[in-house]
Amino acid sequence: MLSTGVVCYWQYVQGMLEKEVTVQIEVAGKDTALDFNEAVASDQQVVNTIAITVQDAYPWKNPPALTQFLQLQAKYNHFKDLGIITLDGKVLSFQNKPLDAKWVQYILGNTLEKEIFLSDRRPDPEGGNSVLVSAAILHSNDKPIGVLFAILPLERYQRILTLPIGTETSFAFVVDSQGNVEVSGREIPFENLFQELKKAQFIDRERFGKFQEDVRLGQATFLRYQIYKERRFVYGYPLAVNDWYLVSVLPTAAVEKQARILTWISLGLFAFIFAIFVLLVGYLLRLRAYNNQRLFTTAFVDSLTGAHNLARMSQIFPEHLEQLTQGAALVIFDITKFKVINDLYGYERGNLVLQRVANILRENLQVGETFCRSTADNFILLLGYEDRSELRSRLNKLATQIRRDCTANDACLMVDSAFGIYEITEDIPFFIMLDRAHLALENAKHDATDKIQFYDSKDRWRIVNERQIENSMENALASGDFAVFFQPKCDFKNGKLRGAEALVRWNDAARGLVRPDEFIPLFERNGFILKLDMFILEQVVKTIANWEQKGKKVVPISVNFSRQHLNDSRYIRQMTRILDKYRLPHDLIEVELTESVILNNVALAQNVVRGLHNKGFAVSMDDFGSGYSSLNVLKSLQFDSIKLDKEFLARFNENENSKRVIIGVVEMLKSLRVKVVAEGVETQEQVDFLREIGCDIAQGYFYSKPLPSADFENWLN
């Protein structure tokens, strides 16, 4: 009963003191808010008074005298700068320093709208710490002629934001309705009050929500919370400035100290019971510490390696980053083909490898550096470095040591590593840095020679661009954003039209013309190319059928098809169904397959080419000579025509050997009784040379660039 009485007495004393402090902090907060309002109003009154004087002197016929007046007023009122912004954005100030145009328009626009304006905290346009800007509109004959602005250093108001109660850890600051800190009486380690309170270990979440709502509505409010093992009182009171709000913070340490003094006096009467009570409390604290340690280990320690886990890494990352005085890099690495180790040697041996890797990392860490195991064989390191070459050398040595030392049960395992590096040059969230390091790691895994890759912003923009393309490709196909252009093929002998190649163009409403090399490789990877190719084929067939209805003499059109069609058993049936739908002869469509597509699987290509011929389609090899051409392939596959890659003609007139190679290739292809098509023909000299050596068909800008369907119709005439 006595012990219960002591506890109740302690709670009673503490409760009474908390009520008293609550009243004190409320009174102190209101007084501070009143002082702040008066200071702001005083400054605005001064600015208004100066504005009246300045506008009375308009038009300003003596700029030097006006500048001197502004300088005297700024000096007298302790303004950092005092100036005028005219309606056309020109600035006149005694500092006579150029100001950012966006800053000028921000002050001018808001003041013209509100007549009297006080900005939020902004970077000093003249360099230095953050400032506030007070401004008033200037009139002449009841019409606005400009704005008078005064740059106010935050120090003007910081001395006001001190609380006459509590300890040195008591402080006050001003936030806007969204919780962003505008002015503070002392340096505080956060920029947004709401985000800081979200970090609190102990806080009534419902009360916290009410606190946020009160701040937004400009109502006085009160809150208790605990953060960084310190409990605090927070009192908020609305200001008469903008949507600002005064927040007063008082740690409960002062209350607890007074409560302890009173309690110790009372406990003198209960010494024996107090000793028992202390023993019980000590036991409970020890038990709680033990439980906390177990919880910490479970939540923040990797059970296999004893290293930090990702959650703990994200917590301690800012602290360790501050300790690295030179360059800092976030490095993510994993063991190449670690699954193979598990499959060959078992999971126990794989776990031994991971434990050894963690030990090696511990041995190689320097002051301020840290690491964690995130998942499976994936480790994340925060390392300091001077330059890229030094960091690359260090990681190479680390990979060598891991490869040398990772021996499990006397079985030496080939442990290779890949590293992705993000050099920390921006103040961005930890997990965004991690994503960028992951991008670099993916590049390292796909690079056969260099397993250490640095993040390049181009990779992120490439992925963003690809995601945008993938998000819009289906709608683009449905809405007809993909169009077919035709590039004529002409006879070398007489220049007459013998056919054309169908080329796809994508005109996106948001991005404009999208280059084929941006979307074709992506469509190859995600499989959308199958839909697009068939769409292009149907557009070509529909266009040819339309020309026939108009009575025009039509020519064969060649259509490019992706390598993915070769693995699609429905490919030839789909083509046939489309042409039969429009009752078009099959010989009006020529299928173009690139050299690389054919060489990837010659046997499969043979079956496809044979099937196309059986259905009456002509087949052409495109880009011949762009890769490692095989003469055996030409012998095995019956092509109707072969198109020379345009690189054959690149600077051919500068090198006699190039001409000899072209002559030899053409003679060989002619001996196979196939038509030879040269693409990339751009000059008369090329035309004369190719005609002389026996090329059959020409395609290139010398004859025509790719044309829209309507323009190509003119060629059919």
The per-residue pLDDT for 6 is 66
Q: Which of the listed CATH numbers 3.50.50.60, 3.20.20.80, 3.30.450.20, 3.40.50.9100 matches domain 57-155?
A: 3.30.450.20
The per-residue pLDDT for 524 is 84
C-alpha to C-alpha distance for 383 and 403, rounded to whole angstroms: 20
Q: What are phi and psi of 462, to 5 degrees?
A: -65, -45
Q: In what order do the strands lie in the sheet with 131-140?
A: 91-93, 81-86, 143-153, 131-140, 116-118
C-alpha to C-alpha distance for 484 and 658, rounded to whole angstroms: 34
C-alpha to C-alpha distance for 129 and 156, rounded to whole angstroms: 13
Task: Please measure the distance between the N-terminal and C-terminal CA atoms of the chain and give it in whole angstroms.
Answer: 112
**CB distance 151 to 81 below 8 Å:** yes
C-alpha to C-alpha distance for 653 and 648, rounded to whole angstroms: 11
CA distances from 685 to 135, 580, 654, 692 (A): 72, 43, 12, 11
C-alpha to C-alpha distance for 591 and 570, rounded to whole angstroms: 16
| Amino acid type, 600 | N
Residues 6 or more apart whose CB falls under 8 angstroms from that of 371 comprise: 307, 308, 313, 358, 361, 362, 365, 379, 380, 381, 382
> Are 57-155 and 157-257 in the same CATH fold?
yes
Residues 6 or more apart whose CB falls under 8 angstroms from that of 538 comprise: 578
What is the CATH class of 157-257?
Answer: alpha beta
Residue from 331, 475, 470, 311 nearest 394 by CA: 331
C-alpha to C-alpha distance for 662 and 649, rounded to whole angstroms: 8
Q: Which residue has the tokens 């966006």?
A: 102
Task: Label the pairing between strands 411-412 and 407-408.
Answer: antiparallel
The per-residue pLDDT for 260 is 67
Residues 6 or more apart whose CB falls under 8 angstroms from that of 359 comprise: none
The per-residue pLDDT for 631 is 64
CATH number of 310-455: 3.30.70.270
Taken in order 229, 235, 239, 244, the sign of the CA dihedral is: positive
Residue from 42, 22, 43, 35 nearest 236 by CA: 22
H-state helical runs in 151-235: 155-158, 193-198, 205-217
C-alpha to C-alpha distance for 294 and 298, rounded to whole angstroms: 6
Residue length, the chain?
Answer: 717
| Amino acid type, 621 | M
C-alpha to C-alpha distance for 180 and 242, rounded to whole angstroms: 13
Question: What are the start-end ranges of the E strands in 258-377?
Answer: 327-335, 370-375
What angle (nearest 5°) sits at the alpha carbon of residue 664, between those of residues 659 and 667?
A: 125
**Domain ranges, ordered by start, for the chain:** 57-155, 157-257, 310-455, 467-716
What does pLDDT average to in each consecutive run of 10 residues of the chain (717 residues)?
71 72 81 90 92 88 87 89 90 82 90 90 82 92 91 86 68 89 85 87 83 89 80 87 88 67 70 85 87 76 89 91 90 84 78 89 91 89 92 91 68 76 90 90 82 84 80 87 93 91 88 83 86 93 92 91 85 93 93 77 84 92 68 75 84 76 87 89 90 92 91 85
The answer for 309, left when phi > 0, alpha when psi is -120 to 50, beta otherwise, is beta
C-alpha to C-alpha distance for 636 and 602, rounded to whole angstroms: 9
What is the CATH class of 467-716?
Answer: alpha beta
Residues 6 or more apart whose CB falls under 8 angstroms from that of 351 comprise: 304
The per-residue pLDDT for 583 is 92
C-alpha to C-alpha distance for 164 and 357, rounded to whole angstroms: 56
